[in-house]
């Protein structure tokens, strides 16, 4: 009798939903059953996650080479009849059919996340069986300039939110003469509504590591750092294990795969400071200092970590590199539209029916995506915040905007890293605007006045707007808020203060009724 | 040099003094071992890193995670970011403070619990999210929070 292969996810979310208990109960039940009828042996693989969060814990079984899925499975659902159905892939009230045929997965274009949830994330053999390290092997054949050219032809732009062309950064570092260059991965995924970086690090960590090694080969850097936020303890564990395995298999360390090239990689942990997601602040933190933002120029590509030329790229940017090298820049650039090439891992969050990771080529409308995700799980969808806490709140009239960088800029918003938070009609946008200012006040590094003081004044002004009992006072305070937003936008050193005005202004512009006298 | 805290700090610092930016990983270790950053930390370790006491103090005070006073045995952090707000974390925040009789940053008198906020745990489709030490909880309402806290009380 063939072994039955069962998969139970083990990312932070599924574990929080009870996946460890689910796995344990399945193992107990099958062991008991096997004793009774002396039949099948079985393997339970703790895979990453498919990113279909509304179905977590999504338990799968492999039948005739196809994966059959059940979800959402809670520990209490794991009874004899469930295990019976699971072992034969047969029908059950929690059946969702073949995993590959789940509509919300089938319609996606997963490039960076092609391997998500297929295997044990730390199984380096399985990683290679699914295309892993093909990009690195190609890169080893290339000259540094050829690697950068490939990235250039992919049209890849920074996935952390700023959308800066990745190849320009790399070319700058490549062209610098220096004894020491660094690759720094910005894994300080602090924005609410985002979890793509977390998923990559927990569920496909070798992909990030591979991207960083390629970056090192491209610009002549032999040292990399991953700066990870401390709010992600499981990502830290996974990365540490993955780095150790990669060293053991000679993908990291000296003379990688006999190429004559070296690359060392270290994990560093932040300490709960949102501002450290800003690249200059992150570099100071890596240097063991306060995470103070510094003025640019000099840009980190020329004078970064310890004053040396440094690539600072977001997790998904770096994790997109392997497929670009493996399949070619042109393959990647074939996805997307205009100047927004390739795919973006959209993250559907907040009050959402089918929340999770949705990787698509740029260009579909926000409304299409919201429809696939099923809208709100409770109440009527009213406002959508795109691109994190520094992103705009958008009303229904703007949901037909195509998801690409330029189209969103045109409506004074940003796609950012693709985090999308849904709110129902109970949300009070004046309170959300107030929170944007409060958050900025709590997390500002304090270096520049518009951000440090402006955010505190912003909270006060919005409080006065909310409390105002005459139309005249309300109008005066709103004018004051407008003025303050302009100061913060133009006078702040970095995006923290400069972009805090985006949620505030969008709330005011599109949901002005929430700011009126006597509203809510 | 008979001060045991100082000798422990020096011992730890020796492991990090030659690392690039070693102060941060050192402070994480110090906090892990002591539960907080002892007052004598900066003045003790600064010379090893060729830094002034003020510079190390500055690093400690910059990061929310580094605590200057002893903390509770368990740290409860409630996510208060936007995605959790969309799922009712404002109510959970109010309830938790009332239920635990603690404000953010405070520790219970019996030393069991510290309450803190956190901006995003990356569990944004299933808020409100809560972190207790390294354990994560999702879809936390008042009832679930109570049972989490009761579990901590029982396990003391």
How do residues A119-142 score in pLDDT, each as one tens digit? 999 999 999 999 999 999 999 999
Overall domain count for chain A: 4
The answer to whether B82 contacts A435, with C-beta atoms less than 8 Å apart, is: yes
Per residue in A436-490, pLDDT tens?
999 999 999 999 999 999 999 999 999 999 999 999 999 999 999 999 999 999 9
**Which CATH number goes with the domain that contains A480?**
1.20.1440.230
Q: Are A58 and A73 contacting, i.e. CB atoms less than 8 angstroms apart?
A: yes
pLDDT tens per residue, range B62-121: 999 999 999 999 999 999 999 999 999 999 999 999 999 999 999 999 999 999 999 999
- The residue out of A333, A353, A368 marking a domain boundary is A333
Q: List the 36-55 stretch of A: residues with Cβ below 8 A of B.
A: 53-54
* In a domain? residue A114: no
Residues in chain B within 8 Å Cβ distance of A381? none
For position A32, what pLDDT does the model report?
86
pLDDT value, residue A448: 95
Is some CB atom of chain B closer than 8 A to the CB atom of A273? Answer: yes
Do A131 and A64 fall into the same domain? no
CB B126 within 8 A of CB A349: no
Chain A residue with the nearest C-alpha to that of B64? A272
Sequence spans of domains, chain B: 4-62, 74-154
The answer to whether residue A113 sits within a structural domain is no
Q: What is the largest CA-CA distance in chain B?
A: 54
* Nearest CA-CA distance, residue B14 and chain A, Å: 15
Does A60 lie in the same domain as A174?
no
Whether the predicted pLDDT of A35 surpasses 80: no
Task: Convert the pLDDT of each residue in B107-127 to its tens digit.
Answer: 999 999 999 999 999 999 999
Nearest CA in chain B to A51: B125
Cβ <8 Å between B83 and A286: no
> Measured between CA atoms, how close is A342 to chain B, in angstroms?
24
Superfamily (CATH) of domain B74-154: Glutaredoxin (3.40.30.10)
Residue with tokens 């894994």: A187
CB-based contact A175:A301 (threshold 8 Å): no
Tokens 């996810």 found at: A9
> Is A314 a member of any domain?
yes
pLDDT band at A37 (very low <50, low <70, confident <90, very high): low
Distance of CA A395 to the CA centre of its chain: 24
| ipTM > 0.95 for the complex | yes
Q: Are A154 and A324 in contact (CB under 8 A)?
A: yes
Residues A342, A329 share a domain: no
Using CB atoms, pick whichever of A191, A232, A288 lies closest to residue B59.
A288
- Percent of chain A having pLDDT more than 70? 98
Q: Which of A424, A453, A479 is the last residue of a domain?
A: A424
Sign of the four-CA dihedral A181, A187, A191, A197:
positive
Assess whether A31 and A173 both reside in one domain.
no
pLDDT digits (tens, 9 = 90+) for A208-260: 999 999 999 999 999 999 999 999 999 999 999 999 999 999 999 999 999 99
Residues A234, A224: contact at Cβ < 8 Å?
no
Do A254 and A375 lie in one domain? The reply is no
Q: What is the CATH number of the domain that holds A416?
A: 3.10.20.600
Average the pLDDT over A301-314 and give the result: 98
pLDDT band at A33 (very low <50, low <70, confident <90, very high): confident
The per-residue b/e assignment along A451-471, b for 16 or more CB within 10 angstroms, e otherwise, is bbbbbbbbbebbebbbebeee
Q: Does A443 touch chain B (CB under 8 A)?
A: yes
Closest chain A residue to B58, measured at CA: A290
Query: Which residue among A303, A333, A363 closes a domain?
Result: A333
A441 and A415 in a common domain: no
Residue A442 sits in the same domain as residue A349 = no
Residues A227 and A304 reside in one and the same domain: yes
Same-domain check for residues A137 and A260: yes
Same-domain pairing of A317 and A188: yes
Q: Tell me what the mean pLDDT of segment A493-498 comes to.
A: 94
Say how far apart CA B8 and CA B30 lie, in whole Å. Answer: 9
d(CA A398, CA A246): 46
Q: Where are the beta strands (DSSP E) in A229-355?
A: 264-269, 310-314, 336-337, 340-341, 343-350
**Same structural domain, A63 and A187:** no
pLDDT interval class at A112 (50, 70, 90): very high
Q: Do strands A343-350 and A419-424 pair parallel, antiparallel, or not at all (unpaired)?
A: parallel
- Domain span holding position A165: 124-333
**Structural domain includes residue A118:** no
Which residues in B lie closer than 8 A to residue A349 (C-beta atoms)? 83, 86, 124-125
Q: What is the residue-wise DSSP string for A78-124?
A: -SHHHHHHHHHT---TTEEEEGGG-HHHHT---STTTTTTTS-TT-H
A355 is a domain residue = yes
pLDDT tens for residues A424-438? 999 999 999 999 999
């Amino acid at each position: 009798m063939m072994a039955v292969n069962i998969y139970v996810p083990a990312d932070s979310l599924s574990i929080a939903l009870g996946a460890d208990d689910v796995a344990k109960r399945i193992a107990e039940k099958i062991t008991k059953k096997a004793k009774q009828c002396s039949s099948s042996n079985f393997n339970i693989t703790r895979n990453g996650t498919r990113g279909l969060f509304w179905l977590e814990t999504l338990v799968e079984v492999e039948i005739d080479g196809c994966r059959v899925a059940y979800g959402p499975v809670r520990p209490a659902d794991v009874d004899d009849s469930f295990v019976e159905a699971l072992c034969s892939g047969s029908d059950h009230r929690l059946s969702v059919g073949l995993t590959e045929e789940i509509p919300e997965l089938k319609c996606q274009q997963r490039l960076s996340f092609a391997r998500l949830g297929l295997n044990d994330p730390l199984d380096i053999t399985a990683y290679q069986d699914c295309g892993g390290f093909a990009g690195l092997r190609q890169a080893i054949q290339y000259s540094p300039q050829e690697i950068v050219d490939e990235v250039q032809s992919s049209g890849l732009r920074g996935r952390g939110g700023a959308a800066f062309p990745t190849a320009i950064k790399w070319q700058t570092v490549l062209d610098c003469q220096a004894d020491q260059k660094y690759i720094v991965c910005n894994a300080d995924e602090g924005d609410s509504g985002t979890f793509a970086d977390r998923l990559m690090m927990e569920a496909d960590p070798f992909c990030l590591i591979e991207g960083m090694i390629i970056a090192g080969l491209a610009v002549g850097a032999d040292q990399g750092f991953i700066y990870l936020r401390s709010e992600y303890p499981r990502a830290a564990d996974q990365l540490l294990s993955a780095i150790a395995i990669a060293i053991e298999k000679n993908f990291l360390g000296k003379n990688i795969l006999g190429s004559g090239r070296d690359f060392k990689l270290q994990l560093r942990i932040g300490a709960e400071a949102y501002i450290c997601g800003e690249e200059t602040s992150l570099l100071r933190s890596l240097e063991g200092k306060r995470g103070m933002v510094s003025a640019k120029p000099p840009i980190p590509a020329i004078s970064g970590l310890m004053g040396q030329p440094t690539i600072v790229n977001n997790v998904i940017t770096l994790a997109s590199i392997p497929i670009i090298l493996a399949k070619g820049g042109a393959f990647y650039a074939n996805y997307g539209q205009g100047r927004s090439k390739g795919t973006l891992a959209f993250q559907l969050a907040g009050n959402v029916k089918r929340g999770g990771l949705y990787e698509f080529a740029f260009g579909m409308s926000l409304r299409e995506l919201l429809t696939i995700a099923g809208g709100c799980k409770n109440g009527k969808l009213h406002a959508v915040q795109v691109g994190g806490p520094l992103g705009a709140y958008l009303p229904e009239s703007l949901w037909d905007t195509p998801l690409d960088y330029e189209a969103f800029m045109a409506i004074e918003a940003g796609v950012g890293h693709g985090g999308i938070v849904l709110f129902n009609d109970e949300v009070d946008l004046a309170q959300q605007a107030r929170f944007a200012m409060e958050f900025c006040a709590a997390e500002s590094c304090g270096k520049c006045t518009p951000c440090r003081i402006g955010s505190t004044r912003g909270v006060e002004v919005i409080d006065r707007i909310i409390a105002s009992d005459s139309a005249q006072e309300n109008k005066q305070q709103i004018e004051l808020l407008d003025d303050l937003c302009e100061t913060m936008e133009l006078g702040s050193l970095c995006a923290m203060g400069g972009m805090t005005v985006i949620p505030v202004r969008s709330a005011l512009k599109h949901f002005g009724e929430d700011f009126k006298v006597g509203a809510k | 040099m008979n001060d045991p805290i100082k000798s422990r700090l020096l011992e730890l610092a020796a492991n990090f003094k030659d690392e690039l930016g070693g102060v941060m990983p050192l402070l994480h270790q110090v906090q892990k071992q002591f539960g907080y950053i002892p007052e004598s930390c900066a003045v003790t370790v600064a010379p090893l890193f060729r830094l002034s006491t003020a510079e190390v103090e500055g690093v400690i005070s910059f990061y929310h995670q580094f605590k200057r006073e002893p903390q509770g045995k368990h740290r409860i952090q409630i996510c208060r970011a936007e995605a959790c707000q969309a799922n009712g974390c404002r109510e959970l925040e109010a309830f938790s403070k009332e239920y635990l009789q603690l404000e953010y940053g405070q520790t219970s008198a019996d030393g069991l619990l510290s309450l803190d906020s956190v901006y995003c745990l990356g569990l944004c489709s299933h808020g409100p999210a809560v972190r207790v030490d390294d354990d994560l909880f999702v879809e936390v309402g008042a009832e679930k929070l109570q049972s989490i806290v009761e579990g901590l009380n029982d396990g003391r």
